[in-house]
Each structure stands twice: as C-alpha cells, then as structure tokens.
Amino acid sequence: MDTHDKYVSSFFPSPQAGVRDMEKYARDNGVPIMEEAGIQFLMQLIRMKRPSRILEIGAAIGYSAIRMAEAYPETKIITVERDERRYQEAAYYLDQFDLSGRIELLFGDALKLRDEIYAKGPYDLLFIDAAKGKYRTFFEQYAPAVKADGIIVTDNVLFKGWVADPTQANERMAKTAREIRRFNDWLMNHPDFHSYIVPVGDGVTISTKLDRKQGKGKEFT
C-alpha cells in the first residue's frame, strides 16, 4: 500500500455490526469480495447516484450487496450468484442483516436469467463483478437494462496490477489479466459509453451512456 492509500484509508468509517465478521469469513475461505477502498468508493458513488434499483452480477456471499444497501437505504438490489454454496451463504447473511426484503438474491447463471432480470428492471446502476472472461458479455447483455442516465460499474479491471504488467503473474492469473485487458480495450473505445478507470481497490471502471445528441469528446462543439 502506498503512502496515499494508507493516508486515505485512515479515514474509512467503521462499518455496521457484522461486516468485519463477514470480511474475515471471506478472507478465511478465499471468497474474492471487494477490497476495502473499492467498496468505500462504490458506496460513495451510490450516495451520489441514489439509485432506486441496482443490478449486481456476482453476489458471492452477499458482501458488496449488503454494503451497497448500507450506503443508500432507499435502494433495492437484485443480485445474481451461480455457485450454490455461495448462494446459500449469501442467503444466510441477508437474513442475518435483515436485508432479505431489500436485496433480492437470484440463483443461477446471470447469462441465462435474462428475461427474469429484465422483468425486474430497469436499473439505475449495474455492478459487474463475476467471471472475468465474461465481462464483455455481461456488459452487452445488461447495459440495455440500465436507464439512459444510469451508470455501469465494473470491478477488478486492473486485477492486482497484472493487467498493466503481467510479467509477475502465474500462467492462470496472466490469462485472466489478458481477458480483462481485452475487455478494457473494448469498453474504453466503445462509441456509446464514456468510461473512466479509477485505480482504487482492484480497479473500478465507471461507465455512463453517451447522450445521443453529443459526440464523444465533443460536448462543447
């Protein structure tokens, strides 16, 4: 952690009861939940955006969904998990936090639940945090379910620094890094979205839909 990160993180507020236990559970069981700085940033984004509806792809044990719900009490979250064990764990935690009413957990492959997910939309915020090799597919399938003024957030886009420099990564990690790099190249050059990669946590991209009346980078002409 560099000096800036250390300084910034010294201001992170203490979370609601139970969150630290969940983080420990994730650490002990190798569940890749969002990093502290990343989730703090996402929570602030949610306070700014005040989304009535959030779609999350990749619930894992429900950690990020619970934190997003904490950031903005009016929001309703639809979150999808395909791993049965994690889905069960997420259901358990949603109950523990008394959030089963505000966070709807769907079991299955997000790519196969299209109709159900669309029926519950549209969404003000889409958060993509599932299989890294499928990011483009998730994005293409669900960006149209996001309102014109909505935002799309993608996590792990810098993947431990290995997207920018894969030389220290093992074969498997380098492969994932290459997949993410391809996704970044695609998204950052997409004519219909403005995107910015924020080097916070494991790398978080924020995308907004381009106003049809504006050209990209031509807002003032």
Binding site for ligand SAH (CB under 6 A): 32-34, 58, 60, 63-64, 80-83, 86, 109-111, 129-131, 134
Q: Give least dist CB 212 to ligand SAH, A.
A: 30
Residue 49 binds: one of ligand SAH, Mg ion, none (C-beta under 5 to 8 A by kind): none
Instruction: Name the closest residue to ligand SAH (Cβ).
Output: 58
Determine which residue in the list 154, 156, 205, 207 makes contact with Mg ion, applying CB under 5 A.
Answer: 156
User: Which of 23/210 has CB closer to Mg ion?
Assistant: 23
- How many other C-beta atoms can be found within 10 angstroms of the C-beta atom of residue 20? 11
Interacting residues with Mg ion between 85 and 104 (CB under 5 A) = none
- The piece of 18-26, 69-77, 92-100, 124-132 that touches Mg ion (CB under 5 A) is 124-132
Determine which residue in the list 81, 124, 155, 179 makes contact with Mg ion, applying CB under 5 A.
Answer: 155
**Are 94 and 107 in contact, with CB atoms under 8 Å apart?**
no
User: Which of 33/94 has CB closer to Mg ion?
Assistant: 33
**Tokens 């259901």, residue located:** 91
User: Which of 9/29 has CB closer to ligand SAH?
Assistant: 29
**Are 65 and 97 in contact, with CB atoms under 8 Å apart?**
no
Enter the tokens of residue 138: 């998730």
β 76-81/103-107 pair status: parallel
Q: Give least dist CB 212 to Mg ion, A.
A: 31
Residue-by-residue DSSP string for 86-136: HHHHHHHHHHHTT-TTTEEEEES-GGG-HHHHHHT--EEEEEE-S-GGGHH
CA distance 112 to 20: 33
Interface with Mg ion (CB under 5 A): 129, 155-156
